Amino acid sequence: MTTAQTTELDVQPTPLALLLLGREADPRSERGVECPGDLPSPSDPDLVARARAAKEKLGDKVFVLGHHYQRDEVIQFADVTGDSFKLARDAAARPEAEYIVFCGVHFMAESADILTSDDQKVVLPDLAAGCSMADMATAEQVAECWDVLTEAGIAEQVVPVSYMNSSADIKAFTGRHGGTICTSSNAQRALEWAFEQGEPSATKVLFLPDQHLGRNTAVRDMGMSLDDCVLYNPHKPNGGLTAEQLRDAKMILWRGHCSVHGRFSLDSVADVRERIPGVNVLVHPECKHEVVAAADYVGSTEYIIKALEAAPAGSKWAIGTELNLVRRLANRFAPEGKEIVFLDRTVCFCSTMNRIDLPHLVWTLESLAEGNLVNRIEVDKETEAFAKLALERMLALP
């Protein structure tokens, strides 16, 4: 278990410029939900003390999860940090915690609710913290896609594989249709499993919702060609594909992407190589295929952290993932003589992750300490059962 190391730092709310970035910076991912209740002012000098007091009052009843991409002011109160799947499992391993406060985004809180017991209540400090990628695949669109695959006569050959970064509805669709969930760490194993579910040469995968992770895994890690992949656009009739194109494809990629990782470009890579001779370019597989192909190393956030831990003193790294994490890693490894920079010159926070700030966390913890359950995320039983089935298939992957 990775316990956050920053508890004693008294990190204050981040400056106004960052707060603005976290507000309506990405209209596609705003869920249009306002938090009830009175939030404390970001300029309240007692926020850190208030959060600490409320957390102490709650004691073992509360367990605070902090995703790697969260702000420092929030991470300092996390009992554990990690990626979304690790955090959901950590929550399930703490049954004595009645309240799971998930400092992350909506789909992560849903996954935690699916994997924790019925007695545990999962809370998202700001209900507007969605994920633009997860929102790019709705249950209606995916049901329509399945109809298109059925019409093309291939639905029986198709195994859905859905990225963890998807709504509970999409996870349930995946479970219902014999598929599995994957993370950015085990996407290759999930695809190999999927192709073993039928006659390998006839089996196809519908990969949801991140086209880049699907394409990068199929082409970079499994030796498929770009021609083996087609892109299903839910905004076009029949996904913008003919029945013949669907029948010829091995990978049917949903047209979704991460608005943060999708910003890195070949220019970002060329620019950093020119600025920092000898730099190692390390990117997340949610980046575009050409960026991944131009990088030196590719891997999940956990992979990135381990690679930097193992890196020799004096090495130089340009990292293509969310900026809060890169900044934290740069600070952590600077004393060891490792130079770590952000891959792009422009600011690249996840705007919806940044919605969880200290005022929302204080409001959440104080409300819970007063006995008011706020912002609960609860997945309905039927959705939960099928989503859990898909998650369990992932846990059983070899």
Interacting residues with ligand SF4 (CB under 6 A): 69, 105, 131-133, 165, 258-260, 322, 350, 352-353
- Backbone CA torsion sign across 287, 292, 294, 298: positive
Residue 85 CA to residue 67 CA, distance in Å, equals 10
Which of residues 35 and 258 has its CB atom nearest to ligand SF4 in the complex? 258
Q: Among 217, 136, 195, which residue's Cα sits nearest to residue 145? A: 136
To ligand SF4, the closest distance from the beta carbon of 118 in angstroms equals 27
103 DSSP assignment: E
CA angle (94 as vertex; 325, 366 as ends), nearest 5:
70
To ligand SF4, the closest distance from the beta carbon of 73 in angstroms equals 18
Which of residues 40 and 209 has its CB atom nearest to ligand SF4 in the complex? 209
Which of residues 107 and 333 has its CB atom nearest to ligand SF4 in the complex? 107
Which of residues 286 and 366 has its CB atom nearest to ligand SF4 in the complex? 286
- Total number of residues shown for the chain: 398
Ranges of H-type helices in 157-312: 168-176, 187-195, 211-215, 243-248, 266-275, 289-294, 301-310
Residue 169 CA to residue 143 CA, distance in Å, equals 11
To ligand SF4, the closest distance from the beta carbon of 292 in angstroms equals 16
To ligand SF4, the closest distance from the beta carbon of 323 in angstroms equals 10
Which of residues 30 and 366 has its CB atom nearest to ligand SF4 in the complex? 30
Q: What is the largest CA-CA distance in the chain?
A: 63
Which of residues 40 and 256 has its CB atom nearest to ligand SF4 in the complex? 256
Q: Among 184, 320, 347, which residue's Cα sits nearest to residue 265? A: 320
Which of residues 107 and 317 has its CB atom nearest to ligand SF4 in the complex? 107
Sheet containing 316-320: give its strands across.
297-298, 280-283, 316-320, 339-342
Tokens of residue 328, six digits: 């934290």
To ligand SF4, the closest distance from the beta carbon of 360 in angstroms equals 16
| Those residues with Cβ within 8 angstroms of residue 368's Cβ, 6 or more apart along the chain or in another chain | 54, 58, 61, 62, 99, 101, 123, 374
To ligand SF4, the closest distance from the beta carbon of 90 in angstroms equals 18
Which of residues 69 and 195 has its CB atom nearest to ligand SF4 in the complex? 69
Residue 100 CA to residue 84 CA, distance in Å, equals 13
To ligand SF4, the closest distance from the beta carbon of 85 in angstroms equals 13
To ligand SF4, the closest distance from the beta carbon of 134 in angstroms equals 6
CA angle (222 as vertex; 221, 223 as ends), nearest 5:
105
Which of residues 73 and 135 has its CB atom nearest to ligand SF4 in the complex? 135
To ligand SF4, the closest distance from the beta carbon of 258 in angstroms equals 3
Residues 125, 353 contacting (CB under 8 angstroms): no
